[in-house]
Chains A and B, each alone.
Chain A
Amino acid sequence: MTTDTLSPTFAALADPTRRAILARLAGGEATVTELAKPFDMSMPAISKHLKVLERAGLITRGRDKQRRPCRIDAARLKDVSDWVEHYRKIWEERFDRLDDYLQDLQKEQKKHGKNGRDKRDKKGNQP
Protein backbone atom coordinates (compact mmCIF):
# COMPACT_ATOMS: atom_id res chain seq x y z
CA MET A 1 0.00 0.00 0.00
CA THR A 2 1.03 3.63 -0.39
CA THR A 3 1.97 3.93 3.25
CA ASP A 4 4.60 6.61 2.82
CA THR A 5 2.38 8.96 0.91
CA LEU A 6 -0.77 8.28 2.89
CA SER A 7 0.54 9.21 6.33
CA PRO A 8 1.19 12.96 5.87
CA THR A 9 -2.16 13.09 4.12
CA PHE A 10 -3.96 11.67 7.13
CA ALA A 11 -2.07 13.98 9.46
CA ALA A 12 -3.04 16.97 7.34
CA LEU A 13 -6.67 15.86 7.31
CA ALA A 14 -6.78 15.44 11.09
CA ASP A 15 -7.25 19.20 11.54
CA PRO A 16 -10.76 20.66 11.17
CA THR A 17 -9.57 24.00 9.73
CA ARG A 18 -7.60 22.21 7.05
CA ARG A 19 -10.59 20.04 6.22
CA ALA A 20 -12.76 23.14 5.93
CA ILE A 21 -10.18 24.71 3.63
CA LEU A 22 -10.25 21.59 1.45
CA ALA A 23 -14.02 21.63 1.38
CA ARG A 24 -13.90 25.25 0.24
CA LEU A 25 -11.33 24.41 -2.44
CA ALA A 26 -13.44 21.51 -3.68
CA GLY A 27 -15.75 24.24 -4.98
CA GLY A 28 -12.96 25.91 -6.97
CA GLU A 29 -9.60 27.64 -6.55
CA ALA A 30 -9.19 30.49 -4.07
CA THR A 31 -6.57 32.93 -2.84
CA VAL A 32 -5.25 33.05 0.73
CA THR A 33 -7.32 36.18 1.40
CA GLU A 34 -10.46 34.45 0.18
CA LEU A 35 -9.71 31.38 2.26
CA ALA A 36 -9.01 33.43 5.40
CA LYS A 37 -12.35 35.22 5.22
CA PRO A 38 -14.69 32.60 6.77
CA PHE A 39 -12.19 31.77 9.52
CA ASP A 40 -11.42 33.91 12.51
CA MET A 41 -7.73 33.58 11.81
CA SER A 42 -4.78 35.67 10.79
CA MET A 43 -3.31 35.35 7.32
CA PRO A 44 -0.07 33.82 8.68
CA ALA A 45 -2.13 31.18 10.52
CA ILE A 46 -3.99 30.30 7.34
CA SER A 47 -0.72 30.28 5.39
CA LYS A 48 0.66 27.78 7.88
CA HIS A 49 -2.28 25.45 7.27
CA LEU A 50 -1.85 25.85 3.54
CA LYS A 51 1.80 24.88 3.83
CA VAL A 52 0.84 21.68 5.64
CA LEU A 53 -1.73 20.90 2.96
CA GLU A 54 0.78 21.64 0.22
CA ARG A 55 3.44 19.44 1.80
CA ALA A 56 0.90 16.63 2.12
CA GLY A 57 0.23 16.96 -1.60
CA LEU A 58 -3.40 17.87 -1.01
CA ILE A 59 -3.23 21.28 -2.66
CA THR A 60 -1.09 23.09 -5.23
CA ARG A 61 -0.37 26.82 -5.42
CA GLY A 62 -0.50 28.82 -8.62
CA ARG A 63 2.60 30.49 -10.07
CA ASP A 64 1.06 33.97 -10.19
CA LYS A 65 3.20 35.76 -7.57
CA GLN A 66 0.46 38.20 -6.59
CA ARG A 67 -2.41 35.82 -6.08
CA ARG A 68 -0.88 32.35 -5.77
CA PRO A 69 -4.31 30.72 -5.97
CA CYS A 70 -4.76 27.41 -4.13
CA ARG A 71 -6.24 24.44 -5.86
CA ILE A 72 -7.18 21.03 -4.56
CA ASP A 73 -5.04 18.10 -5.76
CA ALA A 74 -7.52 15.28 -6.11
CA ALA A 75 -5.01 12.46 -6.64
CA ARG A 76 -3.66 12.39 -3.10
CA LEU A 77 -7.05 12.87 -1.57
CA LYS A 78 -8.24 9.98 -3.66
CA ASP A 79 -5.72 7.64 -1.98
CA VAL A 80 -7.25 8.47 1.38
CA SER A 81 -10.70 8.32 -0.10
CA ASP A 82 -10.04 4.82 -1.47
CA TRP A 83 -8.85 3.73 1.95
CA VAL A 84 -11.91 5.14 3.67
CA GLU A 85 -14.22 3.72 1.01
CA HIS A 86 -12.78 0.29 1.46
CA TYR A 87 -13.41 0.54 5.18
CA ARG A 88 -16.89 1.86 4.49
CA LYS A 89 -17.64 -1.06 2.18
CA ILE A 90 -16.65 -3.66 4.77
CA TRP A 91 -18.59 -2.00 7.58
CA GLU A 92 -21.61 -1.16 5.48
CA GLU A 93 -21.88 -4.81 4.46
CA ARG A 94 -21.33 -5.95 8.02
CA PHE A 95 -23.80 -3.51 9.54
CA ASP A 96 -26.39 -4.24 6.84
CA ARG A 97 -26.23 -7.90 7.90
CA LEU A 98 -26.51 -6.90 11.53
CA ASP A 99 -29.51 -4.72 10.72
CA ASP A 100 -31.26 -7.61 8.92
CA TYR A 101 -30.39 -9.99 11.71
CA LEU A 102 -31.70 -7.66 14.42
CA GLN A 103 -35.00 -7.38 12.52
CA ASP A 104 -35.18 -11.20 12.29
CA LEU A 105 -34.47 -11.54 16.00
CA GLN A 106 -37.21 -9.07 16.89
CA LYS A 107 -39.74 -10.84 14.65
CA GLU A 108 -38.79 -14.14 16.22
CA GLN A 109 -39.18 -12.73 19.72
CA LYS A 110 -42.63 -11.43 18.88
CA LYS A 111 -43.68 -14.76 17.41
CA HIS A 112 -42.45 -16.87 20.29
CA GLY A 113 -42.74 -14.45 23.15
CA LYS A 114 -39.58 -14.03 25.15
CA ASN A 115 -38.61 -17.68 24.54
CA GLY A 116 -38.03 -16.96 20.88
CA ARG A 117 -34.31 -17.03 21.38
CA ASP A 118 -34.39 -20.73 22.23
CA LYS A 119 -35.92 -21.71 18.91
CA ARG A 120 -33.37 -23.15 16.52
CA ASP A 121 -33.66 -22.36 12.88
CA LYS A 122 -32.65 -25.66 11.28
CA LYS A 123 -32.46 -24.21 7.77
CA GLY A 124 -29.93 -21.66 8.83
CA ASN A 125 -30.48 -17.98 8.50
CA GLN A 126 -29.44 -17.20 4.96
CA PRO A 127 -30.62 -13.63 4.46
Chain B
Amino acid sequence: MTTTSANKLEITLPSDREIQMERVFAAPRDLVWQAHTEAEKLAKWWGRGNKVDIERFEAERGGHWRFVEHHDGGSDGFEGRFREVTPTERLVQSFEWDGMPAHVCINTSIFEDLGDGRTRIVATSLFHTTEERDGMLESGMEGGLSESYAALDHLLASLTR
Protein backbone atom coordinates (compact mmCIF):
# COMPACT_ATOMS: atom_id res chain seq x y z
CA MET B 1 0.00 0.00 0.00
CA THR B 2 1.33 3.40 -0.92
CA THR B 3 -0.75 5.44 1.50
CA THR B 4 1.03 7.33 4.25
CA SER B 5 -0.39 7.81 7.72
CA ALA B 6 -1.60 11.27 6.69
CA ASN B 7 -4.01 9.95 4.09
CA LYS B 8 -4.62 6.45 5.33
CA LEU B 9 -8.06 4.96 4.96
CA GLU B 10 -9.55 4.13 8.35
CA ILE B 11 -12.34 1.56 8.44
CA THR B 12 -14.63 0.97 11.39
CA LEU B 13 -17.81 -1.04 11.93
CA PRO B 14 -20.12 1.26 13.93
CA SER B 15 -22.89 -1.37 14.05
CA ASP B 16 -23.65 -4.73 12.48
CA ARG B 17 -25.22 -3.06 9.44
CA GLU B 18 -22.79 -0.19 8.93
CA ILE B 19 -19.30 0.25 7.63
CA GLN B 20 -17.56 3.59 7.91
CA MET B 21 -14.54 4.90 6.05
CA GLU B 22 -12.49 7.97 6.81
CA ARG B 23 -9.73 9.61 4.88
CA VAL B 24 -8.05 13.01 4.73
CA PHE B 25 -7.36 14.64 1.36
CA ALA B 26 -4.88 17.43 0.68
CA ALA B 27 -7.44 19.57 -1.13
CA PRO B 28 -9.91 22.29 -0.12
CA ARG B 29 -13.45 21.22 0.68
CA ASP B 30 -15.01 23.01 -2.31
CA LEU B 31 -12.90 20.97 -4.68
CA VAL B 32 -13.62 17.68 -2.91
CA TRP B 33 -17.31 18.53 -3.11
CA GLN B 34 -17.07 19.27 -6.84
CA ALA B 35 -15.33 15.94 -7.39
CA HIS B 36 -18.41 14.26 -5.85
CA THR B 37 -21.20 16.29 -7.41
CA GLU B 38 -20.05 17.12 -10.95
CA ALA B 39 -20.54 14.11 -13.21
CA GLU B 40 -17.47 14.62 -15.42
CA LYS B 41 -15.24 14.96 -12.35
CA LEU B 42 -16.78 11.97 -10.57
CA ALA B 43 -16.19 9.79 -13.64
CA LYS B 44 -12.45 10.46 -13.36
CA TRP B 45 -12.00 8.59 -10.07
CA TRP B 46 -15.06 6.58 -9.10
CA GLY B 47 -14.27 3.60 -11.34
CA ARG B 48 -10.85 2.95 -9.75
CA GLY B 49 -9.26 3.09 -13.19
CA ASN B 50 -12.17 1.33 -14.89
CA LYS B 51 -14.18 3.29 -17.43
CA VAL B 52 -17.40 4.65 -15.98
CA ASP B 53 -20.34 5.80 -18.07
CA ILE B 54 -22.46 8.24 -16.15
CA GLU B 55 -25.89 7.73 -17.63
CA ARG B 56 -27.73 9.99 -15.26
CA PHE B 57 -26.63 12.39 -12.56
CA GLU B 58 -28.94 14.88 -10.90
CA ALA B 59 -27.17 16.05 -7.75
CA GLU B 60 -30.15 17.51 -5.96
CA ARG B 61 -32.64 16.19 -3.43
CA GLY B 62 -34.72 13.50 -5.14
CA GLY B 63 -32.44 13.45 -8.19
CA HIS B 64 -31.50 10.16 -9.85
CA TRP B 65 -28.04 8.89 -10.62
CA ARG B 66 -26.88 5.88 -12.63
CA PHE B 67 -23.33 4.69 -13.43
CA VAL B 68 -22.11 1.76 -15.49
CA GLU B 69 -18.61 0.59 -14.67
CA HIS B 70 -16.79 -1.38 -17.39
CA HIS B 71 -14.10 -3.92 -16.56
CA ASP B 72 -12.44 -7.00 -18.06
CA GLY B 73 -15.21 -9.28 -16.84
CA GLY B 74 -18.02 -7.16 -18.30
CA SER B 75 -19.88 -4.30 -16.69
CA ASP B 76 -21.74 -3.44 -13.51
CA GLY B 77 -24.56 -0.94 -13.19
CA PHE B 78 -25.17 1.09 -10.04
CA GLU B 79 -27.92 3.56 -9.33
CA GLY B 80 -29.90 5.42 -6.73
CA ARG B 81 -31.39 8.74 -5.73
CA PHE B 82 -30.15 11.65 -3.72
CA ARG B 83 -31.78 11.97 -0.33
CA GLU B 84 -29.86 15.01 0.87
CA VAL B 85 -27.51 17.41 -0.91
CA THR B 86 -26.12 20.06 1.46
CA PRO B 87 -23.48 21.88 -0.60
CA THR B 88 -19.89 21.23 0.47
CA GLU B 89 -21.00 19.48 3.68
CA ARG B 90 -23.18 16.42 3.31
CA LEU B 91 -24.31 14.04 0.63
CA VAL B 92 -26.81 11.27 1.34
CA GLN B 93 -27.86 8.91 -1.42
CA SER B 94 -29.32 5.49 -1.95
CA PHE B 95 -27.15 2.95 -3.69
CA GLU B 96 -28.05 -0.26 -5.42
CA TRP B 97 -26.26 -2.65 -7.70
CA ASP B 98 -27.97 -4.17 -10.78
CA GLY B 99 -26.94 -7.62 -9.51
CA MET B 100 -29.24 -7.17 -6.49
CA PRO B 101 -32.03 -4.97 -7.78
CA ALA B 102 -34.08 -3.05 -5.19
CA HIS B 103 -31.71 -4.04 -2.39
CA VAL B 104 -30.73 -0.59 -1.29
CA CYS B 105 -28.03 0.72 0.98
CA ILE B 106 -27.76 4.34 2.11
CA ASN B 107 -24.44 6.09 1.65
CA THR B 108 -23.70 9.21 3.66
CA SER B 109 -20.61 11.28 2.94
CA ILE B 110 -19.61 14.07 5.28
CA PHE B 111 -16.98 16.56 4.18
CA GLU B 112 -15.08 18.24 7.01
CA ASP B 113 -13.03 21.35 6.29
CA LEU B 114 -9.88 20.90 8.38
CA GLY B 115 -9.06 24.60 8.00
CA ASP B 116 -5.61 24.08 6.50
CA GLY B 117 -6.56 23.33 2.92
CA ARG B 118 -7.30 19.71 3.75
CA THR B 119 -10.61 17.91 3.88
CA ARG B 120 -11.69 14.82 5.75
CA ILE B 121 -14.28 12.55 4.19
CA VAL B 122 -16.31 10.33 6.49
CA ALA B 123 -18.31 7.92 4.34
CA THR B 124 -20.81 5.51 5.89
CA SER B 125 -22.75 2.73 4.18
CA LEU B 126 -25.87 1.64 6.04
CA PHE B 127 -27.32 -1.66 4.89
CA HIS B 128 -30.96 -2.49 5.31
CA THR B 129 -30.28 -6.10 6.24
CA THR B 130 -27.18 -8.09 7.00
CA GLU B 131 -27.90 -10.21 3.89
CA GLU B 132 -27.69 -7.08 1.77
CA ARG B 133 -24.53 -6.05 3.53
CA ASP B 134 -22.88 -9.34 2.56
CA GLY B 135 -24.38 -9.54 -0.92
CA MET B 136 -23.40 -6.04 -2.00
CA LEU B 137 -19.79 -7.07 -1.86
CA GLU B 138 -20.20 -9.40 -4.78
CA SER B 139 -20.45 -6.39 -7.05
CA GLY B 140 -17.28 -5.54 -8.90
CA MET B 141 -15.45 -8.44 -7.33
CA GLU B 142 -12.59 -9.50 -9.50
CA GLY B 143 -10.24 -12.03 -7.99
CA GLY B 144 -10.74 -13.86 -4.72
CA LEU B 145 -10.68 -12.52 -1.23
CA SER B 146 -7.39 -11.99 0.46
CA GLU B 147 -6.10 -15.11 2.15
CA SER B 148 -3.53 -13.28 4.18
CA TYR B 149 -3.61 -13.21 7.93
CA ALA B 150 -2.21 -9.72 7.68
CA ALA B 151 -5.80 -8.78 6.93
CA LEU B 152 -6.78 -10.03 10.36
CA ASP B 153 -4.20 -7.83 12.07
CA HIS B 154 -5.49 -4.94 10.05
CA LEU B 155 -9.03 -5.52 11.25
CA LEU B 156 -8.04 -5.84 14.89
CA ALA B 157 -5.94 -2.70 14.65
CA SER B 158 -8.79 -0.71 13.17
CA LEU B 159 -11.31 -2.06 15.67
CA THR B 160 -9.27 -1.10 18.67
CA ARG B 161 -7.81 2.24 17.64
Report yes or no: B31 in contact with A92, Cβ–Cβ below 8 A.
no
Taken together as a complex, chains A and B put the C-alpha atoms of A10 and B129 apart, in Å, by 12
B15 touches A74 (CB 8 A): no
- Would you give the 0/1 interface string for A7-41, flagging 1 where the beta carbon is closer than 8 Å to chain B? 10011011000011011001000000000000000
> Within the assembled complex, what's the spacing in Å between the Cα atoms of A49 and B56?
48
Known A-B contacts A20-B160, A81-B155, A87-B19; the reply to A98 vs B25 at CB < 8 A is yes
Cα of A98 to Cα of B119 in the assembled complex, Å? 12
Which of A20, A80, A91: most chain B Cβ within 10 A?
A: A91
Total count of chain A residues near the partner, CB < 8 A: 45
Evaluate whether A14 and B13 lie within 8 angstroms (CB atoms) in the complex, with A82-B145, A102-B25 already known. yes
Question: In terms of DSSP, what is the predominant structure of the interface of chain B?
Answer: mixed
- Contact B146–A106 (Cβ < 8 Å): no
Q: Check A106–B149 contact: CB distance below 8 A.
A: no
| B66 shortest CB reach to chain A, Å | 18
* A64, CB-defined interface residue at 8 Å: no
| Chain A residues in the interface with B (C-beta under 8 A) | 1-3, 6-7, 10-11, 13-14, 19-20, 22-23, 26, 74, 77-78, 80-103, 105-106, 125, 127
13 more A-B contacts (CB under 8 A) besides A82-B145, A95-B25, A103-B27? Answer: A22-B159, A83-B134, A85-B146, A85-B154, A87-B11, A90-B140, A93-B48, A96-B3, A101-B35, A101-B45, A105-B27, A105-B35, A106-B31
